[in-house]
Copies of this chain bind each other. A is one copy, B any other.
Amino acid sequence: MSSFNTIVSLEEARRVAIFGGTHGNEMSGVTLVNLWVKNGAEIQRKGVETKPFITNPKAVEKCARYVDTDLNRAFTPENLSAPQGDNQPYEVQRAQEINGIFGPKGSPDAYDVIFDLHNTTSNMGCTLILESSKDHFNLQMMNYIKKAIAPSSCLVLLNEHPLLKYSTSRSIAKHPVGLEVGPQPQGVLRSNIFEAMRVILKHALDFIELFNEGMEFPSCTVEVFRVLERIDYPRDANGNIIAMVHPNLQDCDWEPLNPGDPMFQTFDGKTIRFQGSGTVYPTFINEAAYYEKQQAFVTTRRESLVASSIRKV
């Protein structure tokens, strides 16, 4: 049985949220959502309620990634079911509040789609992040967006890794979509990055409207980059970083890294080479926020996923 012959019938997507400020120093999402809170005309679509929402207002105010802990890792079952109270870290309290408004996570009452807007210091361009290879609605949306913005490109990162997947803010929704656009330094708003994010959102909302209006989307294949492994910076016995991302790798997100290719450069000038067994595609290279997570980049594998035909029920 080929999935090419399957037509998946799905509920309309009537409730959509756009999150900004899950990390308070990623300025494109913060700025767009603040704009849309004031005037949402641009994100309204027929038959869709689109809600722009600042998820971590305290972090936004401080222009910091977070106050107590990373909100975009906080939507765990443990946190969401913990007793409410001021003793909890701010972001855990906030995750519970957000889950109350847009969830509960995993329930039929949860929002249909949540877009969560992020920026990165890495040279990743426009990247959509998915959490499941089985979400045909999202895969079709990715295909739609890729075609709509061509010849500009938009890559899809699939984080379905058993250990590296994390509990994102958007994971409350039935169809969670991360949008990561870079390079943009923390605390900075660049017009090119801001506009690229705005265009992707436009096409994503257009897709939802078309789907709700009854358009059928035929089966297609979508190229994704599946998260494989987290690579840390080289460190000494005390845990101090002793090397930088090699100039040949810096800014080369999504380009092939082959066994033997330069990966790091130590402060005394030695080259450290990639020791893997085959070609990988690194991304999130030298992202500022990931130093504390001990991650210099992640490796990915290129795959083609089949998206079944979809239409509304």
Interface residues of A (CB under 8 A from B): 31, 34-35, 63, 121, 183, 185-192, 194, 240-241, 244-247, 250, 265, 267, 286-289, 291-292
Contacts and interface: CB of A to CB of B under 8 A. Distances in A.
Contact of A267 (B31, B190, B289): B31
B187 A244 contact: no
Contact of A192 (B191, B250, B287): B250
A241 B28 CA distance: 13
How many copies of this chain does one complex carry? 2
A286 B190 contact: yes
B288 A186 contact: yes
Given A31-B241, A189-B286, 20 more contacts: A35-B267, A63-B292, A121-B187, A121-B188, A185-B185, A185-B186, A185-B188, A185-B288, A186-B186, A187-B288, A187-B289, A188-B286, A189-B241, A190-B244, A190-B250, A191-B244, A191-B245, A191-B250, A192-B250, A194-B244
A63 B291 contact: yes
The 5 closest A-B pairs by CB, nearest first: A185-B185, A187-B288, A121-B185, A191-B244, A188-B288
A41 to B, nearest CB: 11
